[in-house]
Structure 1
Amino acid sequence: MRISVLTLDGAFDIGLTAVLDAFRVANNLAARQEKKPPFDVSTVGLRKKVRTGGGLTVPVQAVTPALQPDWVVVPALGASTPDLLVPALERSDVKQAIVQVRKWREEGALIATSCIGAFLVAETGLLDHREATTTWWLAPLFRQRYPNVLLDESRMLVPTEIGVTAGAAMGHLDLALWLIRKASPELAAVVSRYLLADIRSLQAPYIIPNHLAQADPLVLRFERWAREHLREGFSLQEAAGALATSARSLQRRCQAVLGKSPLSYFQDLRVEHAQSLLHGSGLDVDAIAAEVGYIDGATLRTLLRQRLGRGVRDLRTDLR
């Protein structure tokens, strides 16, 4: 499998090295088993010298017509806030990269990216009308810029016919393991053991609802109201009235910013509070359910498993 890792100035150091090291470990382990290394990895750039966000110089080879990758990996830029990311997407080298990624795709290459790299790929238009994921804390900005992309930031990996997108930060490692598994499930299993890592299906357990709400004043006010009413049954009309807005406006703003209904976000806050109580309160599940507005622990258990992919026992183990 020929893989070209497109490296730009300001690349997120951990993301870039996680991808490169995972493929290096995979090739080394294959060689130990006297097998041909399955990955021909090239680190390519659009400038003669590339410096990461941490200031490290990365040796890159030039993009030439002879370079014909099967997969192009686009690591994240180290621009983790909207005020840094939006100007970065207007840089000349980023614009050039957008054109090059589109060209590679037209020639048949598949495109893989993680975290903020999904913004660059979305700029190409290749994600339009397709499912995708990205770094969870920039999901409101992503929805604003790319309304035609079917974003689901709760997922860690989203494969489509044009490639795959992965979630935030260390999602780069999940991405690399996923690509290794495409070549050899057995090799991917060994690599994951060596790296003490495995592919995660969700990034939902890591999302901080309050951070997402801060992207919009009305949604932030709703979030504050919701936290004060978690023990009560949810009413859209009551929430809208308390916020001096219409139910329709609240519904639209939550959908535009969060990609979900007010009720779904209210349930996110219940899940977050329940996780906190599971960790530090010493309450049993039925008592915790009452604290977040459910009549019994069975309902809460179902919600936790649906949203986080884990049961109560797993969550308490994870939090120790």
Structure 2
Amino acid sequence: MSDAPAQAITVALLAVEESSAATLYGFYDALASVRRDWSLLHGEPVQPSPFRPVVVSLDGQPLATGNGVRITPQACLADVPTPEVAVVTDINVAPGTPLDARFEPVVAWLRQCHAAGGLLASACSGALVLAHTGLLDGLDATSHWAYCEHLRRSHPQVRWHADRGLVVGGEERRILMAGSGVSWHLLVLALIARFAGPQEAMRVARINLMDLNTTSPQAYASLTHGCHAADPLIARCQAWAAEHYGDPSPVARMVALSRLPERTFKRRFSLATGMAPLEYVQHVRLEEAKQMLEASELPVDAVALEVGYSDTSFFTRLFRRKVGLPPAQYRQRFGRLARELRSGDPVSG
């Protein structure tokens, strides 16, 4: 463990086979660095961190993650029954995958921590585990953008926000959740600010050059769902939409393709994909629009027309609502990045 003082705040970091070692140990290193690194870099007597990060697992035995990184936990769950903070970092499972029985003791441990007055936190897809505690019911929550739609279906009592980088809520605000990717930086800084003060959080951010820009995670998201529905008929309609998204009246065309009554088709499509047919077509169109904005210099009205919208104002409002940025701002932010990546030139900040 770290050289934290005896009164240090214990932060239990859950390790399972599906854990991402980068986020798990990124959390560990950031918490262990509080006060210590700032004093070290400024020639002052080195101060210990006020946090004691502890990597915990179900049985405390070494385990290998999906990427082959070997993790050696410092304790089992029973050794740390009521930490001040319990964190579930991201787990590498496909969206919609149900958690197996291995997670039942973990869920019970999280409930026990919270009942004892502890703070619970999740990063990215770690929300899958935290949602199973039932403690999120009736609250706002966030996760990686690819998981939120599935989480809405499996946990409808929770208000999921894919566009939120950080959500704080629950009794005494003792539940903290970070959204997509490196939003975990926001989470660890929030924990530092809460227990050690905002100044210490800013020092960690400055030392590590943590980028806290406010771009919505949805701007980075692939709006179309990556896999086809298990229902073969609906999967065929999805394939049609991928090729003919710009056609007029695409929903009516899919209804005709399905040879089902309209109400039956819409109900079956929503059941298979989690979205109404029109919403799905909008997602496909906007994803194509994003790629055109990144790769071409077409005016916004021409992009709108290409993907099926003759009303540029409507397209702009829809794009902003779904992506989090208006089309012109999206191009400004991501078009340059795409060009630099394609050219092989270094990407500037």
Q: Look up the SS of the partner of 1:319 in the other structure.
A: helix
Q: Look up the SS of the partner of 2:297 in the other structure.
A: coil
Letter of the 1:243 counterpart: S
- Residue 101 of structure 2 aligns with which residue? 90
**Residues 50 and 149 from structure 1, CA distance in 2 versus in 1: closer, same or farther, beyond 3 angstroms?**
farther
Normalised TM-score (structure 1): 0.80
Q: Look up the SS of the partner of 2:309 in the other structure.
A: coil
Letter of the 2:204 counterpart: V
TM-aligned CA deviation for residue 73 of structure 1: 0.5
TM-aligned CA deviation for residue 135 of structure 1: 3.4
**Residues 307 and 238 from structure 1, CA distance in 2 versus in 1: closer, same or farther, beyond 3 angstroms?**
same
Unaligned runs of 5+ in 1: none
**Residues 295 and 66 from structure 1, CA distance in 2 versus in 1: closer, same or farther, beyond 3 angstroms?**
closer
Q: Is the 8 A contact 1:89 1:120 kept in 2?
A: no
TM-aligned CA deviation for residue 102 of structure 1: 0.9
* Equivalent position to 1:146, from 146, 149, 155: 155
- Residue 102 of structure 1 aligns with which residue? 111
**Residues 166 and 251 from structure 1, CA distance in 2 versus in 1: closer, same or farther, beyond 3 angstroms?**
farther
Query: Aligned-pair RMSD on alpha carbons?
Result: 3.4
Q: Look up the SS of the partner of 2:286 in the other structure.
A: helix
Does 1:14 pair with 2:22? yes
168-177 vs 270-279, which deviates more? Answer: 168-177
Letter of the 1:305 counterpart: R
- Residue 333 of structure 2 aligns with which residue? 314
1:75-102 per-position Cα deviation (integer Å, ceiling 9, x unaligned): 23333466xx54x6222xx221111101
TM-aligned CA deviation for residue 125 of structure 1: 1.8
Q: Look up the SS of the partner of 2:204 in the other structure.
A: helix
Letter of the 1:121 counterpart: L
Does 1:294 pair with 2:309? yes
**Residues 229 and 144 from structure 1, CA distance in 2 versus in 1: closer, same or farther, beyond 3 angstroms?**
same
1:142-179 per-position Cα deviation (integer Å, ceiling 9, x unaligned): 44543443334444433321513333454433432343
The separation in 1 between residues aligned to 2:160 and 2:269, in whole angstroms, is 14
275-284 vs 191-200, which deviates more? Answer: 191-200
214-223 vs 116-125, which deviates more? Answer: 214-223
Unaligned runs of 5+ in 2: 1-8, 340-349
Normalised TM-score (structure 2): 0.74
**Residues 256 and 153 from structure 1, CA distance in 2 versus in 1: closer, same or farther, beyond 3 angstroms?**
farther
* Equivalent position to 2:216, from 202, 209, 219: 202
Does 1:179 pair with 2:208? no
Report the count of equivalent residues.
Answer: 315
Q: Is the 8 A contact 2:81 2:112 kept in 1?
A: no
- Residue 56 of structure 1 aligns with which residue? 70
181-190 vs 49-58, which deviates more? Answer: 181-190
- Mapping of residues 123-272 of structure 1, within 5 Å: 123-139=132-148, 141-161=150-170, 162-183=174-195, 184-193=197-206, 194-198=208-212, 202-217=216-231, 219-234=234-249, 236-252=251-267, 255-256=270-271, 259-272=274-287
Q: Is the 8 A contact 1:233 1:293 kept in 2?
A: yes
